[in-house]
A = this chain, B = another copy of it.
Amino acid sequence: MPRVSDEHLAARRRQIVDAARRCFLREGFHRTTMHDVIAEAGLSVGAVYRYFPSKASLINAIAEEAIGGAELVLADLARQDPPLPLAEALERALAYVETQVGDDGLLRIAVQVWGEAQRDPALAEFVAGTYAGLRRHFEALVRRAQDGGEISADADPQAVAAALFGLVPGWFIQRILTGGPDRATYLAGVRALLGRSG
């Protein structure tokens, strides 16, 4: 009967998740303490534990947000009509990436999730499934590129999709770790490698 609105609940939850993301970016999953998250959220211990029963559940929520973020973007790219040339599809994918490589971007969290996935089988399965899904979107793009004659019909679409997909983390890892080439430079390099003028 005396209950708070669903909006309030959702807002509180977001408040905690956002605080956790900032903390995890600063200190990594296992070096941030629950008290760090609690202080960052400006709440009390009890309040946070009402929304997340454990630290692990908080890590999971953040991980799903970080890994799942690209799904919608890529699904949309694969669905465009007329089909996007592969170089342009890649460009748009990198444009999304660019919004998420900043100091508080999801992709920095994703890198930490990769590490975590190596010791948490459930998380590993989630990551594997999500990334396989992303790769399938690239595969759809490749098949349509084959229909249009952009790529040899003999090529294995899964293989080409893997190569194309690889170019995405291949870029943002460089960005995050070395400051890396900017998007235009990287794309120019890819196009030169493809032997097209772009």
Contacts and interface: CB of A to CB of B under 8 A. Distances in A.
Interface of A: 25-31, 86, 108, 111-112, 114-119, 124, 127-128, 131-132, 135, 151-152, 154-156, 158-171, 173-174, 176-181, 185-186, 188-190, 192-195
Contact of A118 (B112, B154, B179): B112
Number of copies: 2
A192 B162 contact: no
Contact of A114 (B111, B151, B186, B193): B111
A111 B28 CA distance: 13
A118 B189 CA distance: 26
B28 A31 contact: no
B189 A163 contact: yes
B166 A167 contact: yes
A160 B189 contact: yes
Nearest to A193: B163
A28 B114 contact: no
Given A118-B108, A169-B169, A186-B166, A156 B31 contact: no
Contacts of A180: 162
A186 B132 CA distance: 15
Chain B CB within 10 Å, residue with most, of A165, A190, A193: A193
A60 B39 CA distance: 30
A171 B117 CA distance: 17
Contacts of A158: 181, 185, 189
Given A28-B119, A174-B135, A195-B194, A188 B159 contact: yes
8 contacts: A26-B119, A28-B119, A30-B30, A114-B114, A114-B177, A115-B115, A127-B178, A154-B192
